[in-house]
A and B are shown apart, each in its own frame.
Chain A
Amino acid sequence: MPRVKVQRKSTAIDMTAMCDVAFLLLTFFILTAKPKPEDPIKAEVPQSIITQPVPDDNMATLTVGQGKVFFSVDGTDVRKQLLQQMAEKYQEKFSQAEYDRFAVTEVFGVPFNALHQFLALTSEQKKTYQQPGIPNDTTSNNELFNWIREARVAAKVLHNKELRVSIKGDSKEEYPTIKKVIGILQKQKVNKFSLITALRAAPKK
């Protein structure tokens, strides 16, 4: 009787399906990922149990840390409009290139008269440039007040929606700075705003 020969099978696996899945996932992650805006200062937000996510658009964020305040607003069209209004208010001229560059600037924190210089920086230089923060002294007509006010006007004009204002504060930030920012908001009757927090991990039992 002849011995039954066990047929030797190839060890190579067909990788095509696996490759398909892997690249599908890769494409998904690349498309859904939203680049994190580079914060000019390290703001470690405090934790809370709130689970309401930050809305994706129509939002102005005031980043507060180390006594400095930075401003950012969503939407390139709003930013462009905002700079136009600010230029009008402060009698300043900006070139078209500067408008375009401001429209893609996520966060900034420089006094208005230093804006020309700030916009001229390349993205590499911006990383190392120490932004002094937006002046926010206690007088009622300070720059931060005007930035917020004009941003609200711009959002209203372009989207016909009330701009939501949120404060993103560093957890170590002393209260007087926060108080000043809240005071500025209250002066223009923004009595409802959001505090940005991180989700607190479930307590260990």
Chain B
Amino acid sequence: MAELDTSGGGKHKGGKVRSKKASTRVDLTAMVDLAFLLITFFMLTTTLAKPKAMDLAMPDKDEKTKDQLPIAASRSLTLLLGSNNRLEWYLGEPGKSAPTVEGYGKDDLRKTLIEKGKDVQAATGKFMFVVIKPSDKSNYKNLVDVLDEINITNIQGYGIVDITPAEIALLQKDGLY
């Protein structure tokens, strides 16, 4: 490397022989290299995306609290989570109308939730209540996906409820169980 020659010795014609003055400058290039290598390593290994916490409130299962108000069937939308990442939904009471089979995507479930939410709001003047019934064949991701869509569409009332045998039969009919 081209360093400034700060040494003062060299041309000694006669006189005293001086010891060569060593340069005080240290080449820091290697040290910088090492430092940046370590920085890169730490930046890549630390988890920048911290996990997020989705709050979930379940209804009280206590037998004593029986004074909860029932939700009118006319404004409840039931989601049955089946296998193969598919779900079925129906509005109102079970058996009255055939359920619709759908996926979890933003063109499927989100559209349904928004549209039906508006319909229910217009018909009854109250917000729609979503009942989530995961079957034993659904997985955890399905549940989180549904809760996510509910957060996106800003639905006020929802609950996770155990599925009934009649609803399992509905899923079986459509080959989702």
List the interface of chain A (C-beta within 8 A of B).
10-12, 15-16, 18-19, 22-23, 25-26, 29-30, 32-34, 36, 45-55, 64, 166, 168-176, 178-179, 182, 185-187, 189, 191-200, 203
Contacts and interface: CB of A to CB of B under 8 A. Distances in A.
Given A12-B2, A15-B28, A182-B58, A171 B42 contact: no
Interface of B: 1-4, 25, 27-29, 31-32, 35-36, 38-39, 42-43, 45-47, 49-62, 81, 106, 134-145, 147-148, 151-152, 160, 162
B4 A12 contact: yes
A70 B57 CA distance: 22
A22 B58 contact: no
Contacts of B62: 189
B145 A46 contact: yes
A55 B58 contact: no
A133 B86 CA distance: 30
A57 to B, nearest CB: 13
Given A175-B135, A196-B52, 17 more contacts: A16-B28, A18-B28, A22-B32, A48-B144, A48-B148, A64-B140, A168-B51, A169-B140, A171-B141, A173-B139, A174-B137, A174-B138, A196-B51, A196-B54, A197-B53, A197-B144, A199-B52
A23 B38 CA distance: 9
Contacts of B36: 22
B43 A50 contact: no
Contacts of B51: 45, 53-54, 168, 196-198
Contacts of A179: 134, 162
B4 A10 contact: yes
A50 B42 contact: no
A193 B142 CA distance: 18
B31 A15 contact: yes
A166 to B, nearest CB: 6
Nearest to B25: A12
Nearest to A182: B58
